[in-house]
Amino acid sequence: MARFHILFLCVGLIVTGGINSLFTKYQDNQCVRDCKGNSPVFFNQPVLQTLQMFIGEMAVLAVFWSRQRGAAPISETIGSKPVVKGKQHFLLAMPAICDIIASTLLNLALIMIPVSIYQMTRGGIVFFVALFSVLFLKRRITHMEWVSLVVIVLGVAVVGYSGQSEVVDAEPESVPLAGSMLLGICSVVLALVFMAFQFIIEEHIMARWQVIPLGLVGFEGLFGSLITFGMLLFGHVVYGQKDVNSSFNMRQAFKDMLSNGKVLYSSVVIMVSIACFNYFGTSITKNVSATSRSTVDTCRTLLVWLASLSLGWESFKFLQLFGFMLLVAGTLVFNGAIEIPDKYLPQFLLSDKTGEYDRLIDTIDEEVERF
């Protein structure tokens, strides 16, 4: 029974995670105005998509509060850490701000690049989190882990180049589209930097206070929703209302969403899937390990790519497959899912591997993942 439960959680994590990316891209492909005219307008609303993501995260609070209601009263401290209560939850507004910037950049990038390249490029997050953990949190990283991170970065670079080269080689008039592809990939990379900063802030908070992972997601969703809605409202009043095609034209954005059934229903699916995704992720971390969750989640990228190919959104590219293989290999070695025997490794990779040690993935991998 326990084995079936773990299998259910793993499948749920992969499926709901894939739905998040695929349905967001599906929204971007929906025409909302002047569909039969010469200049059709598509649902390109990265700010509103960020808001719907936070609403999905906020829904996790229902599970969090229901668990708290049935549990014993929480003491003031757990171990040596004080429990976050009341106004202290406002601390979670800080990582929520990083989440807002990262999510908006990701949603903007998804408009410009294929969903598989978007998903694969995001695999580089482990590099930035590891780098920032070493710089700011003084974590230890072995030579082998550095090599794994280099392979991950190389895989991301190959994936990005595969998309860029295909656009440039296609037609001369597609050069502007190539620029859009490059901008989209750069947006993802910049988003990963903010996601890594978000982790550093969360790690700083969780090192000093006791925060339940589901509560962390839920309250960040609450604060993220309030801040994003406030930004959307401010942008609408200041300049968004003057441009019907602006991402900050709040009235037009909601009108496009509510008047188009495909966009509206996909928004509901995205919000539900994000809530479920976070539940599955935290459950796997609790019942197995963070390393297992991170490893299982690599299957989501493959699911997104296969679905995108089957839907005809993009064509197969061997170079992209090669980049994905590098990305997966680097991730699995970094996670410790693949152990290379010492006899096959040069001595300089083994010089700082002394007996048992805490793998970096066990200390930096988030207990929750939102995308």
DSSP for 208-236, written as a single string: HSB--HHHHHHHHHHHHHHHHHHHHHHHH
Asked if pLDDT for residue 177 goes beyond 70, the answer is no
Stretch among 43-57, 197-211, 317-331 having the lowest mean pLDDT: 197-211
pLDDT of 357 reads: 54
pLDDT of 352 reads: 67
Report residue 56's pLDDT band, with 50, 70 and 90 as the boundaries.
Answer: very high
For the chain, which residues make up each domain, given as ranges? 2-34+43-70+78-364
Asked if pLDDT for residue 309 goes beyond 50, the answer is yes
What's the rounded mean pLDDT across residues 73-82? 57
Q: Which residue has the higher pLDDT, 173 or 127?
A: 127
The amino acid that residue 51 corresponds to is L
Longest dimension (CA), the chain: 68
What's the rounded mean pLDDT across residues 119-125? 87
Closest residue by Cα to residue 148 from 337, 334, 340? 334
Report residue 193's pLDDT band, with 50, 70 and 90 as the boundaries.
Answer: very high
Residue that has been written with the tokens 């479920």 in this structure: 276
Stretch among 159-163, 208-212, 302-306, 354-358 having the lowest mean pLDDT: 354-358
Establish how many alpha carbons lie within 13 A of residue 43's alpha carbon, considering only the half-sphere containing its beta carbon.
Answer: 26
Q: What's the rounded Cα separation, in Å, for the pair 353 and 357?
A: 8
pLDDT of 165 reads: 61
Long-range contacts formed by 345-350: CB under 8 A, 24+ apart: 345/144, 348/143, 349/143, 349/144, 349/147, 350/143, 350/144
Query: How confident is the model over 133-151, as pLDDT tens digits?
Result: 888 877 777 888 888 889 9
Asked if pLDDT for residue 16 goes beyond 80, the answer is yes
Stretch among 174-183, 190-199, 212-221 having the lowest mean pLDDT: 174-183
Contact of 16 with 282, CB cutoff 8 Å:
no
Tell me what the pLDDT averaged over the chain comes to.
Answer: 82
The percent of residues above 90 in pLDDT, for the chain, comes to: 32
What's the rounded mean pLDDT across residues 33-42? 87
Stretch among 91-100, 145-154, 285-294 having the lowest mean pLDDT: 285-294
Contact of 197 with 31, CB cutoff 8 Å:
no
Asked if pLDDT for residue 240 goes beyond 60, the answer is yes
Asked if pLDDT for residue 30 goes beyond 90, the answer is yes
What's the rounded mean pLDDT across residues 293-298? 70
Q: What's the rounded Cα separation, in Å, for the pair 1 and 248?
A: 49
pLDDT of 326 reads: 93
CA-to-CA separations, 95 to 185, 203, 223, in angstroms, rounded: 23, 10, 10
Return phi, psi of residue 84, to 5°.
-70, 120
Report residue 203's pLDDT band, with 50, 70 and 90 as the boundaries.
Answer: confident
pLDDT of 124 reads: 86
Report residue 65's pLDDT band, with 50, 70 and 90 as the boundaries.
Answer: confident
DSSP string, 67-127: HHHHSPPPPSEETTEEBP-GGGGGGGHHHHHHHHHHHHHHHHHHHHS-HHHHHHHGGGHHH
Q: Which residue has the higher pLDDT, 212 or 309?
A: 309
